Structure 1
């Protein structure tokens, strides 16, 4: 009887120890997570705070973490700039074009390497990874001469083509993981039911890959929207430049170089579309990343 009781007592003791550790570990991790979130959020808060500060608060020696007065003069300065709205439109057009073309071409490439066997398949998959390791700055000069020779220099479409250099490999590499997770038996069942290859693609693979398309599209959007080097070199006209190029010129101009409120207002307006997009699709991005990491 004592022999049977000893393991039970020992097991209960271990369970009590585990429960005790969990009781103090959970608040600790919650505190660490909260502190980490505050550290990440503080720059955004400071940027927003600076945009609504009055000139007196901006030049105050003692920093204030809450404005003594609200002013919209910084936003007015940004919107009064003749190139701001034009460059915001330019970056929106370029980003949408790069994302749509990148997803269309990259998705077809991902289906090819995930579903078909052909000569050079493994080399193609490896090249998609290697291309992403190449420093972007090393590709700018070749891109410049190529676009100059074909008449696409200082054109939005030329920048879209340049962005596809890093967008398509990323899409192929990422979506391949999603497509590999889709059982081939679903394709075969669709073919048995009378679907063509294209019909099986449209009815089976495409709907099941929507979370991956959204996740990949969001990250491609962020890459294209925030890109500066290529846009700065391949776009020379003021009416063709992107918002990132505009923000750099605006912040370093003699007129606004010391106007920190206007600089922060410009940075906030340029960052806002990316923040809104990520907030809207954050759950799909999280589920998409989890689904793509299961296999492949």
Structure 2
């Protein structure tokens, strides 16, 4: 066996090992979600959920706080994604298609904003939300999330917009289309993969965010899913933690998002290829 073949085999083995290391925590969460607390507390680990049940999942789903937190998280996330994509899309178009004074200063400001630690803004954010009477408010939390996600989303979309030649619009305008119709028919379809990628980024940032929600959503009625999940540990302060329900709750929060991301990612890849061919 030649040296290139040995190197290729070694790379393949290394890739499998790294994939296993990445997948194992997810598998352990799923495995533990089907086991009872006595089995999980045993000194001998159980790697396969033989004899397990869905009781942990039923206990979590029947909790009215879960549905309430799911509703809050979905509302905040969808509002943030919609507003973020609209604002970021217009911002990316302005940066890529127009030349104006202060353009590069604006781009530099977008990068500098990303360097600010989120923890350093908590006091200012809390006081601002309190003065606007937006504490424990879905729109208030969506406003903070949008402000946090928009800068990087603009930077991400800028690359997609810059990758579509303006000559395509000009050629369509020569053929008789107006600027608006040329943009909607020619440019916008080619930007769809970028919008999907930016939407996925915004969705994941909002869905998994914990600290800002912890500061601004103090009322139990307005807790998001990460805050609700934290309630399992708090409720178990004076008794043994039911790790089976904790893992089941974590699965219900995390796994659907992972599946959604994988589905969108495959569509994004096909969209990029088809967009390149059409261009």
Give the TM-score of the pair, scaled to structure 1. 0.86
Equivalents in 2 of 1:132, 1:54: separation in Å?
A: 43
CA pair 288-172 structure 1, distance change in 2 beyond 3 A: farther
Q: Which one is further off, 281-290 or 158-167?
A: 281-290
Asked if 1:253 is matched to 2:210, the reply is: no
Asked if 1:30 is matched to 2:12, the reply is: yes
Give the TM-score of the pair, scaled to structure 2. 0.91
Q: Which one is further off, 192-201 or 268-277?
A: 192-201
Conserved 8 A contact 1:215-1:289? no
1:150-229 matched pairs, under 5 angstroms = 150-229=132-211
Q: Secondary structure at the residue paired with 1:281?
A: helix
- Give 5+ residue unaligned stretches, structure 2: 275-279
Conserved 8 A contact 2:73-2:224? yes
Equivalents in 2 of 1:118, 1:273: separation in Å?
A: 43
1:1-296 matched pairs, under 5 angstroms = 20-254=2-236, 258-285=241-268
Q: Secondary structure at the residue paired with 2:106?
A: helix
Conserved 8 A contact 2:135-2:216? yes
Equivalents in 2 of 1:98, 1:237: separation in Å?
A: 21
Equivalents in 2 of 1:76, 1:249: separation in Å?
A: 17
Structural RMSD (CA): 2.1
Higher relative contact order (CA 8 A, sep 6+): 2
Equivalents in 1 of 2:168, 2:33: separation in Å?
A: 54
Conserved 8 A contact 1:256-1:263? no
Aligned residues: 273
Conserved 8 A contact 2:37-2:243? no
Conserved 8 A contact 2:37-2:242? no
CA pair 290-152 structure 1, distance change in 2 beyond 3 A: farther
Equivalents in 2 of 1:187, 1:52: separation in Å?
A: 56
Equivalents in 1 of 2:273, 2:155: separation in Å?
A: 15
CA pair 139-287 structure 1, distance change in 2 beyond 3 A: farther
Q: Secondary structure at the residue paired with 1:199?
A: helix
Q: CA deviation at 1:20?
A: 2.6
**Rg: which structure is higher?**
1
Conserved 8 A contact 1:49-1:66? yes
Equivalents in 2 of 1:215, 1:158: separation in Å?
A: 25
